[in-house]
Amino acid sequence: MCGIVGISAEANVAGDIYDDFFAAPWSGCCWNGDCDSEGKLNSRKSMGYVRDAFQQSHMEKLIGNYGIGHVRYPTAGGAGKEFAQPMYVNSPYGISLAHNGNLTNSEALANELFHAEMRHLNTDSDSEVLLNIFAHELGKQREIYPSAEHIFKAVTKTHRRCDGAYAVLALITGFGLLAFRDANGIRPLVIGIREGKTRNEYIIASEDALFTSQGFTKLRDVEPGEAVFIDQKGELFSQQCSDNPLKDPVFLSLYIFQDLTPR
């Protein structure tokens, strides 16, 4: 399983994201993206172990108080650097997205994106498909300054189009950190909180193993179908964005196993 993490804090978050991944037994793609005080995106994307991909010179350039990271293998597609997550589109706003899981209708969605929505994809990665679906739906909101409400509407429409298992973290440049989980809750996503000097700081990750060592306390799981948005001021918003959320993923797994049993 891939590892994903996003942090919103008062100070630079690159070190915390690095620590989350350095202690984990993952290898493969790793990347970190942050927004600085001027709204510029700073990133590092490479292949290999985290300790090798992120040198001191790289860390010094990753300045920003919110960011996301991803490690291990691409969810689908090839294994080159171009498949490493998070992936990025510049419109609308500039969105970076990492996800853990697989889309089962990725090929059909890719055709829709190209023929109906005039979006060009550089890879056959389902992560790039998911990113472009969300970006297209957010762009349709036609808001220069999107609120949590507009972002949640885009997530709702993304859920309606995408089939499969996915836990998603997205950095919307200049606006904040977004997380959402598929309606069946198959892939894990958990929220942690710690007290800062002027506001609460949050971490959202695929597991909570390192929360305590970084001063975070587990707040709760992201619910199946739910979206969580943390704006630049550190205020957390959440909303159920699925029409039919299923809160019993164990039951779903048993159902799928039964359905696939040879007859």
Q: How far apart are the C-alpha atoms of 172 and 48, rounded to whole Å?
A: 26
- Looking at 2, 30, 35, 241, which residue is catalytic? 2
Among this protein's residues, is 29 annotated catalytic?
no
pTM (whole model) above 0.85: no
pLDDT in tens, the chain (263 residues): 578 899 999 987 776 776 666 554 443 344 445 565 556 677 666 666 666 666 565 565 667 788 888 876 544 555 556 567 788 999 999 999 999 999 999 999 999 999 989 998 988 889 999 999 999 999 999 999 999 999 999 999 999 999 999 999 999 998 999 999 999 998 999 999 999 999 999 999 998 988 998 999 999 999 999 999 999 999 999 999 999 898 665 544 444 454 444 44
Domain boundaries, the chain: 3-260
Domain boundaries 3-260, corresponding CATH code: 3.60.20.10
